[in-house]
Amino acid sequence: MLLRCRSRVLNLDTPVVMGVLNVTPDSFSDGGRYTDPAKALAAARAMYAAGAALIDVGGESTRPGAEPPPLEVELQRVVPVVRAIAAELDVVVSVDTSRAPVIAAAVEAGAGFINDVRGLRDEAALAACARLGVGVCVMHMQGEPSTMQNAPAYRDVVAEVRGYLAGRIAQCLAAGIAPEAICVDPGFGFGKTSEHNLALLVALEEFAALGVPLAVGLSRKSLAGALTGRAVGERLAGSVALAAIAASRGARLVRAHDVAETLDAVRIGWAARRPPGGER
């Protein structure tokens, strides 16, 4: 299984890890740590050395309750970091954004992948990705970050999220994005309760069957906290356990803050996955 990211092609026959690099002052886990571009580049170097296949630069906090920054602020946060990483490291640079101007500026600076928590619902963002030939990850989110955790509700969370992602795949293809440039993410923690998140985790194989690579983001999130009782800074063990489970159920791209530990977990989970047909 391949994932095309402009001029680069990632081999996803075995899962890879995407390192999380938030260049925001208010992200839920590492907010404020990498607002200095020099510190962000140093963190990217460490993630690359630890085995990250992609580094995901985010200039908008999407934690529950967050409001989007002004466009110029997001550009100022993201573009210098993308340019520095792309100039130095042999890695796919991803940008976590929903805005067409940020997509265009980031690609010009060297990004090859767009990770959109809003699923490229913005027509201008969708068109920009198609025009620029980037790889894309479309994620499910109920509502917006500012309101998504107020009262998330579903009749059947697995069926509804799967149906949404299937629809987004169709929209991406209709816009001209190549099938080998698309992956999907069920959006753990984005407009979901712990019960919803657990149901999605149990059913991940249904998302892996959509025909494009499955991405997951479970690192340090509320599901690990709900299952272990640990605070955000104490969720490493829970996060790598969730990463191993996700890989065993078909995830090909795992987004994580702790790259080396997650890569070990993903390799073990992938090795322990069920063969086709579920027989052992």
CA 75/CA 106 separation, integer angstroms: 8
Report the chain's terminal Cα–Cα distance, integer Å: 23
- Find out whether 75 and 105 touch, Cβ atoms under 8 Å: yes
Give me the catalytic one of 221, 235, 249, 252: 221
- Residue of 118, 162, 235, 255 marked catalytic: 255
Closest CA to 222 of 64, 1, 31: 64
Distance CA 58, CA 27 (A): 9
Residue appearing with tokens 């140093």: 42
The three-point CA angle 179-177-135 to 5° equals: 80
User: Bridge-partner residues for 179, per DSSP?
Assistant: none
221 is catalytic: yes
The catalytic residue positions are 221, 255
